Amino acid sequence: MTTPNHRWGIRYSSDVSKNLAYLQTQYNNDNTFAKPGELFLNENLQEVYYVDHSDGVAKKMSDVWSKTTDDVYYNAGRVGIGIDTPSSTLEVASTWNNSLINHSSVKITITDTASSSNSKPLEVIIDGNSKFAVSKAGGLTLSSKLNLPSQPPASATATGTTGDVAWDQNYIYICIATNTWKRSPLGTWV
């Protein structure tokens, strides 16, 4: 990358008499102009640069985030939200320990006001085939079998939430009310 010789940027100020960030200009190729984490515009005010923490080198934002018509995409590696070392293309990490508050680590909010109840606002497609979909009406569609681990209740009054389903070798169990289970025997299939 050619280092611009006239740049405008927002830089952190350690001078308590100034604002936290202030506008600064630089007229030479001094590599100390910007520090890791800072953003600046080049001399023609057309491109945004950032200084990479890993190597201290100024890089164009367009080399990381790209725009095609109305689409924006990231093409420089992995994206982490709540984690600085993501192990997947997109990784969301969240930690909390307040038992008095309900949390959603990942929340997807979709507002669909026009499509039919059979539309699929949420769908997972692998190799061009739909594997998992949730319809606007709330129906769940799986392309294969549903595999539930065996977690049978110890008694008819074991801890459970209405709608929980469990099984073992002899019964299928359904929680019909809070901590209230019913079961049905499984027969041999010949």
Integer angstrom CA distances of residue 119 from 1, 62, 122, 133: 47, 35, 9, 9
Residue (of 33, 31, 32, 29) closest to 9 by Cα position = 33
pLDDT digits (tens, 9 = 90+) for 53-106: 677 676 676 666 777 788 878 777 888 888 888 898 888 888 777 777 777 777
pLDDT at 39: 63
Q: Which amino acid is at 76?
A: A
Quote the pTM value: 0.52
CA distance 134 to 143: 12
Average pLDDT over residues 102-129: 83
